[in-house]
Amino acid sequence: MRDRPGKDKPRRKPPPYRQSYPLHTRGGWLYSGFFAKMARSLLTRCPAYMSYRVLPFLLLSLPALLAGCALQPAMKPATAVNGSVAAPIPANKNDEASAPSRPFSGATLESLLTAELAAQRQRPDITLSNYIEQARETRDVGVVARATTIAQVLNQPQSLEMAQLWAEVAPESADAWYLVTLNSLRQLRFDTAIPALDRLIVLQPEADLEQLFLAAIPVSQTARDDLFNKLGELARTHPGNAHLLFGQALLKAQSGKPAEAMEIARRARLLRPQSTQITLLEAKMLTELNRNREAADLLQEALKSQPESHNLRLNYARALIRAGDMNGAEREFQTLVGKLPQDDGLRLSLALIAFDNHHDETAARELGQLRNSEGHGDEARYYLGMLALRQDKKDEALAAFEDVPPGTQYLPALAEISRLLVAGGHVDEARNRLAQARSQTPELRSPLYQLEAELLNEAGNPQAAWDLLDAALKEQPEDTQLLLSRAMAAEQLNRLDDFESDMREVLRYEPNNPSALNGLGYTLIDRTSRLDEGEGYILRAQALKPDDPAIIDSVGWLKFMRGDRSGALLELRRAYALYPDDEIAAHLGEVLWASGQHDEARRIWSDALRQHPKSTHIPKTRQRLDPSR
């Protein structure tokens, strides 16, 4: 079995600059444009869009109900009539016509004050119940808006009813119709959502509907198709509405149809080029279509008109990475860090890109600033060690790795410490350190055993690795990762019966473990005559993880064993592009050689050997096929 990427061995997570940037924050209510304008208005008096945890604080900080709660920039003082308190008079002209002129009764006032006190005492259920009751009874626009606010904060089903009541008592309020649309979409009430959306567009043609759609896309495919068609019908009433096109593009994107989504998003962008969300959606679809350079060019063009947009620049930088322009990406991250010097995540991204670009001075400077960062200090110390190691400053590297505390970078750092010790001939010291680490961090016992076994294998002692794992499994007999590692050691010792036994034991516990399926299948096709049986395991692994380079390599090697050289080359080239591993290079070179492409085979082997100078796979393959070299 081969040493492959996957669950078999610890691997560092992708650096932050390689992680995808979210198009939106669903449920976070952190949106711009129309919705933010509406939210700002509400939050000053009726905080409909804040989280449940801040509701009591907001209610406590608001003026007493006597000051009123209608959605308005200001309240005119009310006059007491017959000993009662008059309802506030809305300053908003749109709501004024619908606002009741009668005063609040004593019972209503008592109920609402009870609701406010209940919120302060962490009883939002009473707050919601009382406000809904009084909204239905008084139909006061301020009370109704506040009831809608609270239902929305608590994510209650009454949100739609209250929003509809708000729209009824204040029919010219775009805010009310926005919430009717939002809640109707979330409840898949398209018969209610589409008329409300129509009304919203009439009241406010430039309403920021992108955020609305982002917050309410249906989960089921049937509902997505239905909504797509209904938006198309509404678009005939409002031709050239970029927001509706965005909604349709988003639905296609969520349905896994990037080409259709991209074309619709492009039409929307041409109508509304200033929309960041529309531009980001089109760029995202171009990326999914592997048109990374086009995505980068699109975002670069958008930045010319919005140079201060953090969102656009960050996505542009990441698009440059996907397009292979690492120097351009580094420049953009330098700009981002210059604008937001306190953002340690951006600084770490810059440092890691500089590290990959071999711009060691920049990497060292940025990592040095992050060394004591609360969120990224561990990563900074680890990469400072890797930087020193690359510069052959072994003592400095060792000190940096030893400075990494238990956490996300602890295992990678300990692995580098151990390799440095083994390389210096201090195998026993390395093993003692790993044993001490197992004692100090028992939750890491399994990966630490795996790490020690890997070091023993690298030191040319697979028997010691097998013995170590065998002893570890006596402590943890059902640990599938240890079983996988012992199987790898058994395969290296040519103990195929033990290898197969361990693999089948893993599959007994985890029948859909792709690493075990792939490892067992590959070994059967490569080391035995059981080609059909091995193929079954490999295809099961492929169905589970179709983009895993190790599995793609196995599929390619299987096709080669079946005599399909052209199919094998397609798979192996793809695997090598995803993960330029030395064994994949050995396979790719062998298929190229068998296809008569000797020069390319030699080039692949030479390039891979430069990256993996300790490889055993490539020399063996080259010696067998091209002994003259």
Residue 208: what pLDDT? 80
DSSP helix/strand/coil, 220: coil
Residue 75: what pLDDT? 30
Q: Which residue spans of the chain are classified as CATH 1.25.40.10?
A: 33-207, 512-629
Radius of gyration of the chain (CA): 32
In the DSSP assignment, the letter for residue 75 is E
| Beta-sheet pairing, 85-86 with 103-104 | antiparallel
Give the separation between CA 144 and CA 108, rounded to whole angstroms: 13
Which distant-in-sequence residues (6+ apart) come within 8 Å of 78 by Cβ? Answer: 68, 85, 86, 87, 88, 89, 103
Q: Tell me if 84 sits within 8 A of 64, measured CB to CB.
A: no
Residues of the chain with pLDDT under 70: 1-102, 629
In the DSSP assignment, the letter for residue 314 is H
- Find the helix or strand (DSSP H, E) in which 446 lies: helix 445-458
Q: Tell me if 521 sits within 8 A of 537, measured CB to CB.
A: yes
Beta bridge partners of 89: 76
Closest by CA position to 333, among listed 322, 345, 323: 345
User: Which pLDDT tens digit goes with each residue over 236-251?
Assistant: 999 999 999 999 999 9
Beta bridge partners of 75: 90
φ, ψ at 84 (rounded to 5°):
-100, 170
- Find the helix or strand (DSSP H, E) in which 86 lies: strand 85-86
CATH C-level class of 33-207: mainly alpha
- Name the one residue in this structure whose structure tokens are 């079954």: 536
Q: Which ranges constitute the DSSP H helices of 26-91? A: 33-45, 55-61
Residue 362: what pLDDT? 97
Give the separation between CA 357 and CA 367, rounded to whole angstroms: 14
Residue 15: what pLDDT? 52
Which distant-in-sequence residues (6+ apart) come within 8 Å of 518 by Cβ? Answer: 4, 6, 537, 538, 541, 548, 550, 551, 554
CA dist list (Å): 523 to 310, 503, 530, 538: 50, 11, 9, 10
Q: According to CATH, what is the number of the domain 512-629?
A: 1.25.40.10
Residue 259: what pLDDT? 97
For residue 599, count CB atoms less than 10 angstroms from its CB and return exposed for 0-12, middle for 13-18, buried for 19 or more. Answer: exposed
Give the separation between CA 262 and CA 246, rounded to whole angstroms: 10
Q: Which two tokens stand for residue 216?
A: 């309410």
- Find the helix or strand (DSSP H, E) in which 89 lies: strand 89-90
Q: Which two tokens stand for residue 254?
A: 């969520």
CA torsion through residues 341, 342, 344, 346, sign? negative
Closest by CA position to 248, among listed 191, 206, 302, 238: 238
DSSP helix/strand/coil, 273: coil
Residue 74: what pLDDT? 29
For residue 624, count CB atoms less than 10 angstroms from its CB and return exposed for 0-12, middle for 13-18, buried for 19 or more. Answer: exposed
Give the separation between CA 272 and CA 511, rounded to whole angstroms: 51
Residue 87: what pLDDT? 28
- Give the number of other Cβ atoms within 10 Å of residue 283's Cβ: 28
The amino acid at residue 351 is A
Q: Which two tokens stand for residue 141?
A: 């626009």
Burial 154-163 (b: 16+ CB within 10 A, else e): eebebbbbbb
Residue 460: what pLDDT? 85
Degrees (nearest 5) of the Cα angle 569, 9, 621?
35
